[in-house]
């Protein structure tokens, strides 16, 4: 698959909505989307992709909503609507301030607390050509960032001006997520354009995520085009991995850690412990410089994938342990074991504000154990993917853990998610991953 195929994408006027047979206006194979139910009919004339934005329903927001929108944040909360429009959900709407001043165009949700997702500041037609240009811009960025990558994020929602739409590439296959009513309605247009540009062998929708429940949408795993295997081998930085497309975490692998894998691997020496390893992204990269790597993971399926990765990369110094990482860290500490590097990449401990306090305690506990396990000069690589744990809070947790462990802690690097997951400056919610690399002198 030529991921960044040189199909003439600038001629977006020729892009038509995909059909279920024949070919599209650019002469490319039409996407096979016939195996799934049709998207719900829009509540007023035409689909969101066909309707010119000046004819869209106006949604008026409060002064607070107006202030938020003017900062550039793309979300309008339901509590900031002056009145709730009689729309089914998924429509393009015009967002106005309390006095009718134009704030932008957005995609409406009839169910979510995020009532409108703004995607354009000025008015104008919103048609397949418009969305095609947005998708082409997202692809062009990735071509510059990772021209040789076989696994990467192609589209990252609001950051790419395509609200609540995720598209990841794994070799010859695409895995997408449609996380709102509007994304669900626009899937033929968005997915069809990607098929026309990239010619994947198959497209899978991994819509088995809780956020869809908040949108009143079912949680499903659905084939949208061609055929997609359960697993596929990909290369992530310097390592071959098995991505579990249908049942793995996220869309099959932790693509957001790709550059952190490389940074950690460059510092790996001696004995390394990779806790919460999943299928070994950090462990396999660390193996190139380490003498021995212990990868601890509670999921039996992830352990099997990790062991496949060990065989693929012909490594003899990596062993997987199926165990609870909390318990394992505690046991190694009690035994007085020592490591030259400890890696912590746990799941989100604070998935909402209510869980923040407990989540911070969890992060402190594992970092305390990790710091106690490190030999002098050892390296700590510690991560948090909880959005509600800010970078400042995360550093506070590490400092508190170091104090309680009686260890000094030198922060060498503060990192985030890979560049194919760009952070929209006016939407901090798009920046969720923290990765701190520190040294214990």
- Residues with a catalytic annotation lie at 385
Angle separating helix axes 356-373 and 325-334, nearest 10 degrees? 40
Distance of CA 119 to the CA centre of its chain: 19
Cα separation, 244 vs 229, in Å, equals 9
Cα separation, 405 vs 370, in Å, equals 9
Cα separation, 317 vs 305, in Å, equals 16
The β-bridge partners of 205 are 176, 222
Q: Token match 């110094």: residue? A: 317
The β-bridge partners of 384 are 434
Q: Token match 């948090």: residue? A: 384
Cα separation, 7 vs 82, in Å, equals 45
Mind giving me the DSSP string for 354-382?
GGHHHHHHHHHHHHHHHHHHEEEEEEEEE
Q: H or E stretch including 239?
A: strand 239-244
């Amino acid at each position: 698959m030529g991921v960044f195929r040189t199909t003439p994408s600038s001629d977006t006027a020729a892009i038509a909505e995909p059909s279920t047979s024949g070919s599209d206006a650019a002469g490319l194979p039409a996407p096979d989307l016939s195996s799934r139910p049709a998207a719900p009919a829009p509540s007023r004339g035409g689909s969101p992709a066909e309707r010119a934005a000046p004819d869209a329903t106006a949604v008026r927001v409060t002064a607070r909503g107006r202030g938020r929108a003017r900062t550039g944040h793309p979300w309008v909360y339901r509590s900031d609507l002056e009145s709730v429009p009689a729309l089914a959900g998924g429509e393009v709407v015009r967002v106005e301030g309390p006095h009718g001043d134009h704030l932008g165009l957005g995609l409406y949700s009839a169910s979510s607390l995020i009532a409108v997702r703004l995607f354009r500041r000025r008015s104008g037609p919103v048609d397949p050509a418009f969305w095609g240009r947005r998708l082409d811009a997202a692809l062009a960025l990735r071509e510059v960032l990772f021209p040789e990558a076989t696994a990467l994020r192609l589209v990252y929602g609001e950051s790419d001006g395509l609200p609540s739409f995720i598209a990841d590439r794994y070799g010859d296959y695409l895995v997408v997520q449609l996380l709102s009513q509007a994304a669900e309605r626009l899937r033929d247009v968005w997915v069809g354009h990607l098929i026309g540009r990239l010619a994947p062998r198959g497209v899978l929708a991994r819509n088995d995520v809780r956020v869809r429940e908040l949108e009143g949408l079912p949680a499903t795993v659905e084939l949208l085009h061609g055929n997609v295997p359960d697993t596929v081998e990909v290369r992530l930085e310097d390592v071959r991995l098995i991505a579990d497309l249908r049942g793995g975490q996220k869309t099959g692998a932790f693509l957001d850690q790709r550059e952190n894998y490389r940074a950690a691997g460059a510092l790996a020496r001696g004995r390394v412990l990779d806790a919460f390893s999943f299928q070994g992204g950090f462990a396999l990269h660390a193996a190139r410089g380490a003498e021995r790597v212990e990868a601890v993971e509670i999921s039996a399926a992830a352990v099997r994938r990790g062991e496949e990765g060990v065989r693929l990369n012909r490594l003899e110094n990596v062993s997987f342990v199926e165990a609870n990482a909390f318990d394992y860290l505690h046991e190694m500490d009690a035994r007085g074991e020592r490591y030259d590097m400890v890696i912590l990449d746990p799941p989100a401990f604070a998935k909402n504000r209510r869980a923040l306090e407990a989540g911070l305690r969890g992060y402190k506990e594992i970092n305390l154990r990790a710091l106690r396990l490190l030999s002098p000069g050892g390296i700590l690589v510690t991560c948090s993917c909880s959005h509600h744990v800010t970078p400042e809070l995360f550093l506070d947790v590490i400092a508190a853990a170091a104090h309680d462990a009686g260890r000094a802690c030198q922060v060498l690097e503060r990192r985030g998610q890979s560049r194919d997951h760009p952070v929209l400056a006016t939407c901090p919610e798009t920046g969720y991953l923290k990765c701190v690399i520190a040294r214990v002198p």
